[in-house]
Amino acid sequence: MSKAQADNALPIDFCDLIVINIFPNNGETLVIDQPPRDISPNLRTEVHSIRCGKALSELLSGLILNHYDLASTTVTGIPMKEEQNANSSANYDVEIFHHANAHSESFKSDIMEGPNKVRKTMTLKWCTPRGNPQDMYNCTAVYRVTPVDINSRPSSCLINFLLGGRSVLLEMPRRSGGKTNSHLLSAHGGEIFIHTLATGRSVLEDPPSISEGFGGRVTDYRVADFAQLIQVNKVIPLKLCTNQKSILPIIKMKNRLDRLTKYWPITISSTFLFNIRQYVDPLPALICKDELTSEEVTTCRQVIYSLAALESKNEPLVASLPLIRGKPPKREEQFKMMWTELEKMVRAHCRTDAHNKILYTVMELRSKDPDKSDRIELDDALRELDAVPVEPIARATVIRATTDSPMSPPPVTKCVSIPSKLAGPSRQGTMYSGPKSILDIWLNVVESEDKTIKEKRPDFYGRRNGGNFAVLYPKRAKEDTRDEPMVE
Amino acid sequence: MDLCNHKTVFVIDHSPYFGISSEDPMEFEQTRGRSPNVGPTVTITKSLWTSSLEAAIEYSRIVWDLFPEGKLIRFIASDCMGHHFNTWDLNQQNIQHVLNGSLLLGPPPPPAHPHTSKDFSVMHGLRAAIDVLALYTDEQLKFKKSGGKVLNYCRVICITSTIDNESMNSLQEIYLLVRIYLNSSFIFLKPLFRH
């Protein structure tokens, strides 16, 4: 072998071998079909055994659909004059092949016919073209077409019609019952193409109504509130800061959005708190802030206290937005819903001591569960609050609005954050002088619950032996020290 | 699957057996000019060879209609040797050229006389197919020159007739062996089957 020949040789990396065993129409064969199988890493074989004649042609046109990723469309209802009788006309069908992607839009609907004979075909109805053939259509894809039966009269009529410069719109029946023009057949430069038309919404149209989005027909989205959320989270392009240490703006923004939407009911019917804004504002807005000033904490607590006052006065909460379904809930339920939601929201935003204080206030006022034996009347709490000296200077403006009511907030400076384990001993002393405060009762409840849990469940092994701190992977640490001398 | 579409070889059995009738009768009406009188119907049947070639040509017609570029198909008839109808050259990638090739070859030969020791087998065609699949097409050559690594994926569609499953399996195995042999040795001129 010469060098030139070796240079021209190209090893076969992969081969798809299809063996078709044919036999005369009146004959029989012992050869059975074999599905595709890899007989070596780079040779796939399949065997078809088939009668010669029409079946062979059908087999090959079936294979070509797979090999070249083609799909079939049957244009139905083509009006044609009868060959014998020019006065009458009949409707004919023509089947065409084209790339399967031309159907990609339509596969979403279920108009594909089942495995009728040999292959699936999509039946689309001929629409006699009207108007200007130069009309522009919003077309998403274009593929060449070829008739399956090239020699049939309907095929050649359709082809000649199209080559003559006219276009045919194809109509797809819709599941909902209507019809839509889904494809267009048209010739360009002597070749015929199928054009997939955009059947969905065009970007030029108005956006769909928000109620028609995913999740069904939801009609009570909190659209106005969402718009507000968008407004306060607008992003503008910034020059990228080269400082490696700073967090990327996008990360910051993601964190912010994540925080703002930690508690954000999507529909009006899924929230009660946001429908009684006249009672809770400005708490929802303030609680989302990164940092809270003491004035803001006071404002929030005032809101919470005024809600508690309403409850104690047996006054119903009037929703500013009517709830969509059903009767308005009973008064007790209203408050239960409100407290649950308020706690959920405040808890979700708990990030600083100031936030903790607000949560703490909510917990304080919420703990009045009628089932609990150590229940304390709200009036007691109010009396207790009254006993606290009113803040002298800084909060004058805030307090002026509420000084007339018995709901004056306790001075923030005297409040402690929710005590943690580390702040253990300080918990023993009450924050207010005199009898037990609601906080003490609450903490007692928590403590007793803690105890019962601990009794039920053995403590974590590491904590039992090593005090508050347990060494992780002690065995591994030993191994490491053992390894060191070997390295040296 | 798509990668295999660049090179396809049809190997069609041209042995005497393929000269027999497919027994798929077609009826023709005889008409004389424009007169409505219909003459006696004439029934004809195609041979296995004609039916196979037509089906293969129909396959290539669809491919060439839909993909004017980059999908190459070669035709090889196999009797006592492989007969090439066309090459990878773009000028020969059309139905007319293939039909002309078949015209030059003619129908399958008559059954071999017992005294003549001609060996009719589809293996000759398959062997020839492997040979031509190992040749660069223009596109592959261009890609190679541009510094790319050519992946030689291809497809062989073989229309033949065997007695039973066993001979079908051995046909596949022989094909595999031949291909491995040729791939490893790159010897294209030395005939594998000497008779």
A386 vs B162, more confident? B162
Peptide bond into A237 cis (omega under 30): no
Closest partner residue to A20 among B22, B159, B173, by Cβ? B159
pLDDT band per the 50, 70, 90 thresholds, residue A192:
very high
DSSP-assigned states of every residue in A94-119:
EEEEEEGGGGTTGGGSS-B----SSS
Secondary structure class of A95 (helix, strand, coil): strand
- Listed in sequence order, the residues at least 6 apart from A201 whose beta carbon sits closer than 8 Å to its beta carbon are A208
Chain mean pLDDT for chain A = 73
B182 vs B62, more confident? B62
Tell me the CA distances in angstroms from B10 to A60, A165, A247, A322, B168, one per residue in order.
12, 36, 63, 75, 17
pLDDT of residue B156: 93
Q: Name the helix (H) or strand (E) containing A188.
A: strand A179-188
The total number of residues written for chain A in this structure: 488
- Within the 200-229 window of chain A, which residues sit less than 8 Å (CB to CB) from chain B? none
- Do residue B4 and residue A61 have CB atoms under 8 angstroms apart? no
**Quick one: DSSP state of residue A206?**
P
Q: Assess A350–B contact: CB distance below 8 Å, yes or no.
A: no
Which residues of A are less than 8 Å from B60 in CB distance? none
Of A30-44, A338-352, A424-438, give the lowest mean pLDDT range.
A424-438
Tell me the CA distances in angstroms from A386 to A379, A382, A430, A442, one per residue in order.
10, 6, 16, 20
Query: Residues A122-151: what's their mean pLDDT?
Result: 80
- Do residue B134 and residue A9 have CB atoms under 8 angstroms apart? yes
pLDDT at A384 over 50: yes
CB A410 within 8 A of CB A388: yes
A78 vs A461, more confident? A78
- The owner of tokens 């196979």 is B52
pLDDT band per the 50, 70, 90 thresholds, residue A166:
confident
ipTM above 0.90, yes or no: no
Query: Residues A456-474: what's their mean pLDDT?
Result: 66
Query: Residues A422-449: what's their mean pLDDT?
Result: 59
CB A308 within 8 A of CB A280: no
The single-letter code of the amino acid at B135 is L
Calculate how close chain B gets to A474, using CA atoms only, in Å.
Answer: 54
Our CA dihedral for A84, A89, A90, A95, rounded to 10 degrees, sits at: 90
Neighbouring CB atoms inside 10 A of A177's CB total 6
- Do residue B179 and residue A98 have CB atoms under 8 angstroms apart? no
**Can you give A319-332 as a three-state secondary structure string?**
CCCCCCCCCCCCHH
- Listed in sequence order, the residues at least 6 apart from B43 whose beta carbon sits closer than 8 Å to its beta carbon are B25, B26, B27, B28
pLDDT of residue B60: 94
- Do residue B51 and residue A22 have CB atoms under 8 angstroms apart? yes
pLDDT tens, position by position, A327-383: 566 767 777 778 888 888 888 887 787 788 778 878 877 765 444 434 444 555 555
Neighbouring CB atoms inside 10 A of A487's CB total 5
- Do residue A17 and residue B175 have CB atoms under 8 angstroms apart? yes
- Do residue A39 and residue B172 have CB atoms under 8 angstroms apart? yes
pLDDT band per the 50, 70, 90 thresholds, residue B11:
very high
B interface test, pick of A10, A29, A65 with most B CB neighbours within 10 Å: A10
- The owner of tokens 């040729």 is B182
Residue B114 token pair: 């017992």
Closest partner residue to B168 among A14, A47, A63, by Cβ? A47
B interface test, pick of A52, A56, A84, A150 with most B CB neighbours within 10 Å: A52
pLDDT of residue B116: 62
- Do residue B171 and residue A19 have CB atoms under 8 angstroms apart? yes
How far apart CA A304 and CA A362 sit, in angstroms, is 7
pLDDT at A113 over 70: no
A204 vs A480, more confident? A204
B35, burial (CB in 10 Å: exposed 0-12, middle 13-18, buried 19+)? exposed
Neighbouring CB atoms inside 10 A of A247's CB total 11
pLDDT at A211 over 50: yes
Q: Assess A247–B contact: CB distance below 8 Å, yes or no.
A: no
Q: In B20-135, at which residue ranges do the beta strands (DSSP E only) sit?
A: 26-28, 42-44, 72-78, 82-84
Query: Residues A31-46: what's their mean pLDDT?
Result: 87
CB A9 within 8 A of CB B133: no
How far apart CA A329 and CA A228 sit, in angstroms, is 28
Nearest CA in chain B to A64: B59
Highest mean pLDDT of the ranges A2-6, A18-22, A422-426, B33-37: A18-22
Q: What pairing do the DSSP bridges indicate for beta strands B26-28 and B42-44?
A: antiparallel
Q: Assess A21–B contact: CB distance below 8 Å, yes or no.
A: yes
Peptide bond into A282 cis (omega under 30): yes
CB B105 within 8 A of CB B12: no
- Within the 145-174 window of chain B, which residues sit less than 8 Å (CB to CB) from chain A? 150-165, 168, 171-173
How far apart CA A271 and CA A210 sit, in angstroms, is 19
Phi, psi dihedrals of residue A387, rounded to the nearest 5°:
-65, -25
Is 0.80 topped by the overall pTM? no
Which residues of A are less than 8 Å from B160 in CB distance? 19-22
pLDDT of residue A397: 41
Q: Assess A19–B contact: CB distance below 8 Å, yes or no.
A: yes
How far apart CA B178 and CA B82 sit, in angstroms, is 15
- The owner of tokens 């077409």 is A145
pLDDT of residue B86: 93
Phi, psi dihedrals of residue A267, rounded to the nearest 5°:
-115, 160
DSSP-assigned states of every residue in A129-178:
--S-TT----EEEEEEEEESSTTSHHHHHHHHHHHTT--EEEEEE-TTS-
Q: Assess A62–B contact: CB distance below 8 Å, yes or no.
A: no
Which residues of A are less than 8 Å from B176 in CB distance? 39-40, 43
How far apart CA B105 and CA B99 sit, in angstroms, is 10
- Do residue B130 and residue A143 have CB atoms under 8 angstroms apart? no
How far apart CA B58 and CA B190 sit, in angstroms, is 34
What are residue B26's DSSP bridge partners? B44
pLDDT at A141 over 90: no
Nearest CA in chain A to B66: A144
pLDDT of residue A88: 75
Calculate how close chain B gets to A221, using CA atoms only, in Å.
Answer: 47
pLDDT of residue A445: 77
Tell me the CA distances in angstroms from A368 to A246, A381, A435, A441, one per residue in order.
46, 11, 17, 10
